[in-house]
Amino acid sequence: MVPRKRDIDMCSGPLFSNMLIFALPIMAMNILQLLFNAADMVVVGRFSGNHALAAVGATGSLINLIVGLFMGLSVGTSVIVAQDAGADRPDEVSKSVHTSITISVITGLVVMVVGIILCEPILELMGTPEDVIDLSVLYMKIYFVGIPASMVYNFGAAILRAVGDSRHPMYYLIITGIVNVVLNVFFIVVFDMSVAGVAWATVISQCLSALLILICLSRSHGAIHFSFRKMGFNSRKLASIVKIGLPAGLQSALFSISNVLIQSAINSFGSTMVAASSASSNIEGFVGTAMNAYYNAAVTFTGQNVGAKKYDRIDTIAKVSTVLIFTTWIIISGATVLFGRSLLGFYTTDPAVIDLGMQRMKIMMAAYFTCGTMNVFPGLTRGMGYSVLPMLCTLIGACVMRIVWLATFFAWYPTVTMLFICYPITWSLAGLGQVGSFFYARHQIRKREMNNTELNNAVSVKM
């Protein structure tokens, strides 16, 4: 399939510059998303107080748990569309596009219902402070109304990125993010709606983003053109997407379970600690979002080159990814710690919240490159078609070890430092496993190619 002018040719040319050009719009998009989320928290914290800030922050890990399982299927979409595009199979790309959008609609409705029903009992189980739980439940019930639209946007964005277009999802996020911020101020300042205003602003912006991505796909020419009349499941494509996407979704869900347990531990320190951790986590996300951009680049570039049978480029993709991880960690993490107190000051003027937020931030930023390794290398492995291995590495290295840490070291020494230090430790363990998984998958790809070459040579001799 010949790349369109706006798309990046991933199967030829310099990898470093092409990966960076591809990743930058995704990074900008993610940073903008965080800025808009930060605006949510800044507005609600400034105009509705620390309890409202804590209420919104307390829902993050639970939302990620419920949404992450199904959102992971979009990873399957990225890999399958990228491989088909790299192999120049436009008919197969079209089948993947329509199957993916159908998946997004159905799973979005399922997640919406599950989230609305389960949010209150799970928040209670997490030990959410009594002075914020009612606001947290209200926020989550409204938030989940917009999940179907969010699913459509994310699957649509995955399709565009898979063929090299990482700019249009960014443009749509800019538009919807501005709408979100304007509605935040309008609902909270004018109508005094507190967390409900933030939630409804998010729902409206999510619906707008879904509309824009569908318009883009319907106006696209060639393989990724979307038509409502063609919506439905292609059983073969559905199986392929689920094979790669479900382990990615399970990894996200399992990872979120460990974060829910940590959030429960944070809740035990009271609403001040919850507010501090929420603000610090929001700031830390600016580093994590850069790593997420490299993950998307790793998935897509590896997928297209595997589809084109250019296996020799996989090692270079891994090297470029590693350089980007370390460079980003040094620059952004350093700046985050240096300006940490000022950044936290945007969220709250409470000195206690700022002090606790800085305590968390210093621990997290010190070894964030291990988080980058843990997050980006699964993209390389999944791009080669291996999705279960990264899930197992996350399950054992991050999820299980966090549970062990909470049950042992944190139980013996229940301090804030002992709680947050479990992050870099488990990132390191899971990261080592992900690097090992990459080398295993790469070896299997090369072994399979050698076997195919020998078989073809043998057939040629017989003929």
Nearest to 361 by CA among 375, 374, 347: 347
Question: pLDDT band at 62, cuts 50/70/90?
Answer: low
Instruction: Collect all residues with Cβ–Cβ distance below 8 Å to 438 and sequence separation of at least 6.
Output: 318, 377, 380, 381
pLDDT tens by residue, 412-438: 998 988 999 998 999 999 999 999 999
Which amino acid is located at 271 in the chain?
A: S
pLDDT digits 0-9 by tens, 362-381: 998 988 889 889 888 988 99
Name the residue among 449, 100, 68, 80 with its Cα closest to residue 300.
Answer: 80
**The predicted structure's pLDDT at residue 270:** 83
How many other CB atoms sit within 10 Å of the CB of residue 260? Answer: 18
Q: Contact 80/240 with Cβ under 8 angstroms?
A: yes
- In tens, the pLDDT along 334-362 reads 888 899 898 888 877 888 889 998 999 99
**Phi-psi label, residue 77: left if phi above 0, alpha if psi -120 to 50, beta otherwise:** alpha
Q: Give the pLDDT mean for 126-138.
A: 73
d(CA 142, CA 138): 6
Q: How many helices (H) and strands (E) does the chain have?
A: 21, 0
For residue 380 the two structure tokens come to 């390389």
User: What pTM was estimated for this model as a whole?
Assistant: 0.69
| DSSP labels, 437-453 | HHHHHHHHHHHHHHHHH
pLDDT at 196 over 50: yes
The alpha carbon dihedral of 309, 313, 319, 325 has a sign of negative
Query: What local confidence, expressed as pLDDT, does residue 2 receive?
Result: 42
Largest CA distance in the chain: 81
At residue 108, does pLDDT exceed 80?
yes
Can you read off the two tokens belonging to residue 448? 């399979």
The residue with tokens 């609609």 is 105
